Amino acid sequence: MAPESPEADSPSFRRFHVEAISEDRGAELDRIYGTGGGIDSALETFRYVGAGDADVSMRGAEVEGTRSGRMEPRADHIVFWVADGTASLEDTRDGTVLEVTPGHPLLLSASVAYTFSADIRKLTMVHLSDRVLRAELARRQRFVRGPLLFDQQPDIEVALGPLRAIIRSRAGQVMDGRLDEAQRAALNQQIAAAVIDAFPLVEGAEPEPSTAAARAAAWIRDNAGSPLELRDIATAVGLSERGLQSAMRRTYGESPMERLRAERLEGARRELVAGGAGTTVAETARRWHLTHLGRFAGAYAERFGEPPSVTLRRARAGARERVER
């Protein structure tokens, strides 16, 4: 499977294209998906396309036929969903069976082996590197020892809705080779954040923050709901304001106040997703010290792929459905 990269594409960008009228998928796909041991299949046609860089890429497959086999641990974590048909996967660690239903995203952790059987025609995937997910976790001061393992998310609308919105609105950019490296890094971070928000991380032991920047980031996260200024953060971690600015830039590539705004947006989103009685967008923004409602709505939509009003509306609809059941 040779890359198809026009001159306008950035150096790390790659396109994928496999099309065959046979069951021979090719050695590279077996390497990517850990299926080198072979797949039992009755395929008539197979088409596989995709684009992205080493951290985040969109892939799609169209298949006529059935297949089953085993996926060994892989380099990438894979979020996927099917458009039709049926499929099931078994987590070889504990025998947990995942039933695949059309339109419901699932996440395959890179370090886990799965057996599978499938009779589906269309499959869409987002590949994410371990590196890009760990980088986003580090931004949140979450450090996982050992492999990253994720649970599935049963709540389709409330928890998976924002992820779907991000993928729907950003898929074209992921597959656009004209993005420069900075644009692509920002895009990848946004998608990684949406994936981590959507799927519960199986927690392991996390060390206490050891560097000044890590202590500052943890303190900002814990105090983002309070009125803060730069000097408050610097005093809390024993740095000068200039020293704090330098440490945060060097470690995270952002200023302390940029991190504070991001934490406040995350806090506001948690409240809107919860959708408690009496929750409003304006009051949520005020409570998190995001006082300019227009700027808040714009920043929220940029970070989460939808306006805050849509998040709240979905949460309320989900709550009504649960009550009606």
Q: Find the helix or strand (DSSP H, E) in which 192 lies.
A: helix 181-198
Indicate the range of 153-157, 224-228, 247-251 predicted with least confidence: 153-157
Instruction: Between 200 and 321, name the one with better pLDDT.
Output: 200
Residue 111, CA atoms < 13 Å, CB-side half-sphere: 9
Q: Quick one: pLDDT at residue 306? A: 86
pLDDT digits (tens, 9 = 90+) for 266-289: 899 888 887 766 889 999 999 999
Q: How far is CA 303 from the centre of its chain?
A: 12
Alpha helices in the chain (DSSP H): 27-33, 130-139, 156-174, 181-198, 212-223, 230-237, 241-252, 256-274, 281-287, 293-304, 308-324
Which of 43-52, 217-226, 314-323 has the highest average model confidence (pLDDT)? Answer: 217-226
Compute and round to an integer the Cα radius of gyration of the chain. Answer: 21
Q: Which pLDDT belongs to residue 26?
A: 64
Q: How many other C-beta atoms lie within 10 A of the C-beta of residue 188?
A: 24
Residue 20 Cα distances to 55, 65, 289, angstroms: 27, 13, 56
At position 17, the amino acid (one-letter code) is H
Nearest to 259 by CA among 300, 218, 198, 298: 218
pLDDT at position 77 is: 95
Among the residue ranges 8-17, 117-126, 162-171, the one predicted with the least confidence is 8-17
- What is the arithmetic mean of pLDDT over 310-316? 85
Q: What pLDDT sits at residue 196?
A: 92
Query: Which band of pLDDT confidence, cut at 50, 70 and 90, is reported for residue 20?
Result: low
- DSSP summary character for residue 250: H
SS3 119: strand
Do the beta carbons of residue 13 and residue 51 sit within 8 Å? yes
Query: Comparing 221 with 28, which gets the higher pLDDT?
Result: 221
Closest-CA residue to 52 (of 136, 164, 173, 169): 173
pLDDT band at residue 230 using 50, 70 and 90 as cut-offs: very high
